[in-house]
Amino acid sequence: MKIVEIGPYKIGTGSIPVVIAEAGINHNGDIEIAKEMVHAAKEAGADIIKFQTHIAEAEMLKEKSLSGDAGSHVTSSLYEIMSKCSLSMQDHVDLMGEADKIGILFLSTPFSIEAVALLEKIGIVAYKIGSGEVTNTPFLKYVAAKGKPIILSTGTATWEEVCRAVETIKTEVSEIILMQCTSNYPTAYENVNLGILDKMIEHFNIPVGLSDHCIGNYACFGAVARGASVVEKHFTLSRSLPGIDQKSSIEPHELKDLVKGVKAIALALGDKKELNDEAKKVRYGFSESIVTIAPIKKGEEFKERINVWVKRPGSGIPSYELYNIIGKHALRNLPQDYMLKPEDII
């Protein structure tokens, strides 16, 4: 599998999965809330804090962006929402500077070529492309031409559309991370479809991840167990705040639990069947050795459950050797409850 480098992170097989705190527009256009989210994400242990770069007039028709057009969770004009929640160029500069200062990577999702131009000016290191742009071939080509790594969400696409999007991007850049996503807010667990991660890995041989909108962190944990190299979760300071994404977002303490769980599961995914030093100690204490269960005279034959059997600890001749000893004879007199040694046997 190709390793994709984004900032300080090498993403792919063998690496600890990267956790993205998706701040999105949960700041409601308030730069101070946005800055607080940067710090809260860092304190929770997230690797990346991601916002959205909206320039409403460049990405949608005002008179057509009605409530309900973007899902049942959107109850007012999408144009008005994005206009209210948009961040200025200086806001982006300030947020990136704040993130750099405390050691968390700043990313943002553009929704227009004008937004891409803004992000290019501030020196963005990679692009996250939202699910709504998977079928926007002109936009994909434009972003890919910047030559930077791309994280692509797939929540509104069919398998055929995902394949076309990946091929479009690959004409310009090979560093792609593909995110399984279901664009329901929130997403029911039966609609997550984690099994597609296996198909993505096999078909594209690139890092994959999960952009998750479920209540709770279970889907993210399952994704890591299925090979996800990235998990992304909508993030808010409080679900009580107004906004279309707040209810399907996690709060700082839940983000902390997500990070902790992802890292723990990743460490547990080894495929070796070997004994480490601690397991060897446990093995000696809880496995059995061959012992005498009655006094045995010199020259006497070893007989199963008559004069020899197996008991703990396992520091002597292993119990699986019992049937190689039965029928042999004692080289000397042996007491009862004695752990046999090779030199006791002829």
- pLDDT tens string 183-238: 999 999 999 999 999 999 999 999 999 999 999 999 999 999 999 999 999 999 99
Say yes or no: 183 and 281 in one domain: no
What was the pLDDT predicted at 74? 60
Whether 227 is covered by a domain: the verdict is yes
What was the pLDDT predicted at 12? 96
Whether 172 is covered by a domain: the verdict is yes
Of 249, 267, 285, the one marking the end of a domain is 267
Whether 121 is covered by a domain: the verdict is yes
Whether 272 is covered by a domain: the verdict is no
Whether 339 is covered by a domain: the verdict is yes
Say yes or no: 144 and 198 in one domain: yes
> In terms of residue numbers, what domain contains 299?
277-344
What was the pLDDT predicted at 261? 98
Say yes or no: 259 and 287 in one domain: no
Whether 51 is covered by a domain: the verdict is yes
Of 267, 285, 311, the one marking the end of a domain is 267
Whether 188 and 213 have beta carbons less than 8 Å apart is answered as: no
Tell me: the pLDDT tens digits for 315-327?
999 999 999 999 9
CATH classification at residue 324: 3.90.1210.10
Of 217, 249, 267, the one marking the end of a domain is 267
Say yes or no: 228 and 336 in one domain: no
Say yes or no: 259 and 286 in one domain: no
Name every residue whose Cβ is closer than 8 Å to that of residue 336 and which is 6 or more positions away in sequence.
292, 293, 294, 295
Say yes or no: 257 and 286 in one domain: no
Say yes or no: 256 and 290 in one domain: no
DSSP-derived 3-state class of residue 74 = coil
Neighbour count for residue 84 (Cβ, 10 Å): 16
pLDDT-flagged residues of the chain (< 50): 67, 69
Say yes or no: 203 and 314 in one domain: no
What was the pLDDT predicted at 63? 74
Say yes or no: 175 and 156 in one domain: yes
The long-range contacts involving 280-283, CB below 8 angstroms and separated by at least 24 positions, are: 283/314
What was the pLDDT predicted at 72? 53
- Based on the structure, what is the number of domains in the chain? 2
What was the pLDDT predicted at 75? 61
Say yes or no: 150 and 59 in one domain: yes
The long-range contacts involving 241-245, CB below 8 angstroms and separated by at least 24 positions, are: 241/26, 241/28, 242/28, 243/25, 243/26, 243/28, 243/85, 244/25, 244/73, 244/74, 244/75, 244/81, 244/185, 245/24, 245/25, 245/26, 245/73, 245/185
CATH classification at residue 114: 3.20.20.70
Say yes or no: 309 and 227 in one domain: no
Say yes or no: 26 and 165 in one domain: yes
Whether 143 and 117 have beta carbons less than 8 Å apart is answered as: no
